[in-house]
Structure 1
């Protein structure tokens, strides 16, 4: 973003003197470097506020919420779906905060990989918890021994997730798990799925606790045991929407072209400020769904600050003859604006006022401004912001419903790719959790929770499909056709929300084949994955495990939200 509008700040003012553009660019780089160095020194030496402790507090808060959610699921207590969606947003926020750690002054500057690893464990816990909750719902009243098992797991979590006790719990779960055989019932395979998910949840809790303990170490050397836990997921493996990025680029191009054409056609000497401000406005707010309101606020603040800018530029600065006097005269306004920037309610207006005021002053070593030049430049700035507002309104103003639909479609495309993948996609869970985090603030404006339910459903299905890919050599004649049908379904998911009877039949056939395989850990994982996919796609239809595929029951399948008719 900085590089993008810096090109405009250097290029357009140099049009009238192209021979000096290298000197202008060099001076601009020196100014930016000096500003960054000064800000870094001030923030590091004068009342420093490192990111590390705040990040640790957020991590512990997130783990506390996750622990509460786990206990609610195990104890069948009711909790809020909104809180669950906020958990996904918290995970994405922690990942973004972790990008600042390498530049932090605290001892945690080496722990960015650990933070991402902990976020991965929290992301993996999301589908596990929803799966456990769904399996409990499908089973109805649990057998007494299974309910006692859930209570023991809850007590273990409340006591602090001791690693030695975890092995005992996993052994008890294994002893309770029904053996897969030709006589297995639908309840048996549901219990197998529940046992597998409980074991994975216990392992997830242990991994998260180990990573958190590693953060308390003063050494930057990560132990081999922790290295095995960490999933190598970089930020570029999170959700990306190149279509929206192209719209943002097209908006900036159109705004700069319109303002530049007006500058050339009018032969206005100060018109060069228009394309400069158009580039700045389009770049600053490109990440928003609808940047128009923010650009409108910037336009209003540019008008409101004209008297203050004129007072400083035309009255105060000509009478300033030393750096100390300049600092004293600038202190009151920027100190007050800094205070308002720390308040969430006034942060954005205060920030934009600071940017507009600082850019208007454009401090030089000699006084060169007069009222005529000041007004010309100011009107040029307003023309540029106005052109950015018009271009944004034409191209880049996207509704929340449209963005939600894009997020859902991106998830379906990922699932379709999984159906054709030869190896599991390790970054899938992180991408889907990131999408859920992106959904959370947008769903606050909607009354329909179905999009969030769809993303969570897709997250669970992707988790199960990953297991199928890992164990496809166990039943190649069954799993390959199933993955092909899943690919076909999710490739057309936007147009066809209800899965077909053929997919249902293939799922049942594959499940029968998995049950008939020799007992092994891979067999149980495969059965659990198939049961999970079947519950997610056909929640109201029990499988017939005793004979040929059942008839067309696709009308009983879950009808997930379909936003294909919505427009931006």
Structure 2
């Protein structure tokens, strides 16, 4: 069997993640962003735009290391900017004489946009977020001159569009990096890690190590899918990769479920005295396939199929477990074959229409998503409350620079709203924003007085802006780079001629940092959800889906329900990784759902008595899941009765029986084995 990334001999090679210095790609991205920034400044000066520095800051907001990501962020930033500017033009002139009403209107609008942004976990969500805080950025500084709001909004939009244009232009012309090869590279690494996880599932490995594998694999699947969301913005040659990824992602998650099931079954076999000699031989051959780069997956599947066919009558619980294990191994081999074919097509830019896929999967390739309405609502309410409190302080104290504090509170409160605990990121953003103000001060009072032309200005900016680009290119320092890249140019406030006002500079810088501090404080008080709460909500949502799957009389779309559970599993993994929580029951719930669907589809071919027992077991599970009640001996007894009504040696019963066995193992892993009657049935 051909497993990607194969090493020869012993356990598969474990991928080590080391801290590396800035790579060549990081330097190229930084140079690319700097050239785009200088070009945007030149265009802004040439067109005599009132705030050229906004064009420069926009470049460092929109620029991404990959071309498709830059295009998508630029596109949605343009849409969000236009919507936010239009709302500012609508609200400011009409409500400026009623400050409390204006504050409430902007707070409501920003909260509504953030609510939609948190719900929409695609690049499109960025447009909603931009529409919200752009209204604050344009509107609050204009309250003293509401008659100029249209000109201000138009100028700000032009400056941002110039920055977007320059970022997109340089991304496509200078050192372009496409999303497609990056997706293929990550997918190949994922397959190598999956091979290690499958190897560990067949061995007596540490439970925490297996847990870390599953969490990382599910989290990497989410990252691959998120990266692939930018493929529609790539050139036509790279967009063909999108259907391949849509076929690959559900199979990746199904691979994790198969590995989890195999681990459970091998563990159960150990409790029954170990595998039989024939099963031990089959497991050894599978292990050999996992550590070898030679051989064909079709031959490996034929070997497993031959083992299943040669089993004959099942006469013991152990033989039944071995039959189930062999079928799961066959599924795993088929999934790895499909994954290898799809990743190979990604790497070679081949279209997926003619790729023969072995493992059928009916989960919607468009990836139906689970909506976290409560989380989005809390994030929106927190942002609205932050704006109301900040603006109230501004109004009550008649703070001249309160507008800067309010708009930065809106920015900081929005940028990190999707995190479970955004406070550390907001604090980091605020601290490095203060550093940006200090750097801007050095430029304003020491360096810029000596710059007498645009060329010398560009040379003076080069060292710091290149460093900012390197920080943005590295995910671990992304927040630092964005804080410096946004706040240093905007605080510096570059104009066509050198102008300096020390008092205004200090007051504006202090107001910006204060606004972010207020955002952090308000968020710390009002964000009452954490990772543990989110995990519990996912489990409850899965219970509701399982209740629908178990409803034999209901009308449901199995593919839709399973797609929801796939999405929840891929969403749970990054939460577990970032919060250092234990992996919840999402994997077992997904396996339970798959087994229930399989059992329900096989019920039509069962005898009347067997079908009644199966229906009774599913309906009892449905009641428990609807109540979110823990499963007990009543559900186990109902499953046992359904299993006893089926014969492992009857082809009509076997599919339903194996599905019920898998369901029993998922829900009651500590349950005692049942006895097999001499006739081959379960008494």
TM range (shorter): 0.7 to 0.9
Q: Separation in 2 of the partners of 1:383 and 1:372? A: 16
1:417 and 1:36, CA in 2 relative to 1: closer, same or farther beyond 3 A?
Answer: farther
1:538 and 1:230, CA in 2 relative to 1: closer, same or farther beyond 3 A?
Answer: closer
User: Do the aligned partners of 2:436 and 2:488 also contact (CA within 8 Å) in 1?
Assistant: yes
Q: What residue number does 1:534 align with?
A: 664
Secondary structure of the residue aligned to 1:515 is coil
Could you tell me how far 1:61 is from its partner in structure 2? 1.5
For each residue in 1:381-437, what CA deviation from the matched residue of structure 2 results, as whole angstroms up to 9, or x when unmatched?
A: 233212211210111264443343334333333333433463413414522431442
1:95 and 2:215 correspond: no
Could you tell me how far 1:93 is from its partner in structure 2? 1.4
For each residue in 1:472-510, what CA deviation from the matched residue of structure 2 results, as whole angstroms up to 9, or x when unmatched?
A: 4345533333232222323344xx44x122211211122
Q: What residue number does 1:338 align with?
A: 469
For each residue in 1:352-391, what CA deviation from the matched residue of structure 2 results, as whole angstroms up to 9, or x when unmatched?
A: 2222212323444456652232233223323321221121
User: Do the aligned partners of 1:277 and 1:381 also contact (CA within 8 Å) in 2?
Assistant: yes
**Residue of structure 1 aligned with 2:330, choices 199, 203, 206:** 199
For each residue in 1:88-136, what CA deviation from the matched residue of structure 2 results, as whole angstroms up to 9, or x when unmatched?
A: 2111111112122333469544212312422322210112112122222
**Residue of structure 2 aligned with 1:150, choices 275, 278, 283:** 283
1:334 and 1:525, CA in 2 relative to 1: closer, same or farther beyond 3 A?
Answer: same
- 1:512-527 matches, within 5 Å, as 512-515=644-647, 518-520=650-652, 523-527=653-657
How many residues align? The count is 534
Secondary structure of the residue aligned to 1:452 is coil
Q: Separation in 1 of the partners of 2:203 and 2:430? A: 54
Secondary structure of the residue aligned to 2:669 is coil
Secondary structure of the residue aligned to 1:288 is coil
- 1:105-504 matches, within 5 Å, as 108-140=238-270, 141-157=274-290, 158-160=292-294, 162-179=296-313, 185-220=316-351, 222-223=353-354, 225=356, 233=364, 237-313=368-444, 322-343=453-474, 346-365=477-496, 370-396=501-527, 398-420=529-551, 422-424=556-558, 425-442=561-578, 444=580, 451-452=582-583, 454-474=585-605, 476-493=611-628, 496-497=629-630, 499-504=631-636
Q: Separation in 2 of the partners of 1:247 and 1:355? A: 27
Secondary structure of the residue aligned to 1:16 is coil
User: Do the aligned partners of 2:394 and 2:402 also contact (CA within 8 Å) in 1?
Assistant: yes
Q: Separation in 2 of the partners of 1:539 and 1:46? A: 56
Q: Separation in 1 of the partners of 2:544 and 2:599? A: 18
CA RMSD of aligned residues (A): 3.1
Q: Separation in 2 of the partners of 1:543 and 1:227? A: 33
User: Do the aligned partners of 1:290 and 1:397 also contact (CA within 8 Å) in 2?
Assistant: no
User: Do the aligned partners of 2:301 and 2:330 also contact (CA within 8 Å) in 1?
Assistant: no
Q: Separation in 2 of the partners of 1:113 and 1:227? A: 17
TM-score, normalisation: structure 2: 0.71
Q: Separation in 2 of the partners of 1:517 and 1:27? A: 77
Could you tell me how far 1:39 is from its partner in structure 2? 1.5
1:345 and 1:223, CA in 2 relative to 1: closer, same or farther beyond 3 A?
Answer: closer
1:199 and 1:8, CA in 2 relative to 1: closer, same or farther beyond 3 A?
Answer: same
Secondary structure of the residue aligned to 2:604 is coil
User: Do the aligned partners of 1:340 and 1:347 also contact (CA within 8 Å) in 2?
Assistant: yes
For each residue in 1:140-181, what CA deviation from the matched residue of structure 2 results, as whole angstroms up to 9, or x when unmatched?
A: 31111122222333444535562541452243133134547x
User: Do the aligned partners of 1:419 and 1:487 also contact (CA within 8 Å) in 2?
Assistant: yes
Q: Separation in 2 of the partners of 1:303 and 1:481? A: 65
Q: Separation in 1 of the partners of 2:435 and 2:539? A: 41
Q: Separation in 2 of the partners of 1:235 and 1:17? A: 48
Could you tell me how far 1:248 is from its partner in structure 2? 1.0
Q: Separation in 1 of the partners of 2:405 and 2:529? A: 25
Q: Separation in 1 of the partners of 2:311 and 2:595? A: 19
Moved more, 411-420 or 6-15: 411-420
1:359 and 1:73, CA in 2 relative to 1: closer, same or farther beyond 3 A?
Answer: same
Gaps of 5+ in 2: 1-128, 678-683
1:510 and 2:646 correspond: no
Q: What residue number does 1:561 align with?
A: none
Gaps of 5+ in 1: 548-568
1:17 and 2:149 correspond: no
1:65 and 2:65 correspond: no
Secondary structure of the residue aligned to 1:540 is coil
Q: Separation in 1 of the partners of 2:326 and 2:173? A: 54
Q: Separation in 1 of the partners of 2:465 and 2:340? A: 44
Moved more, 405-414 or 293-302: 405-414
Q: What residue number does 1:559 align with?
A: none
User: Do the aligned partners of 2:367 and 2:563 also contact (CA within 8 Å) in 1?
Assistant: no
Q: Separation in 2 of the partners of 1:330 and 1:204? A: 52
TM-score, normalisation: structure 1: 0.84
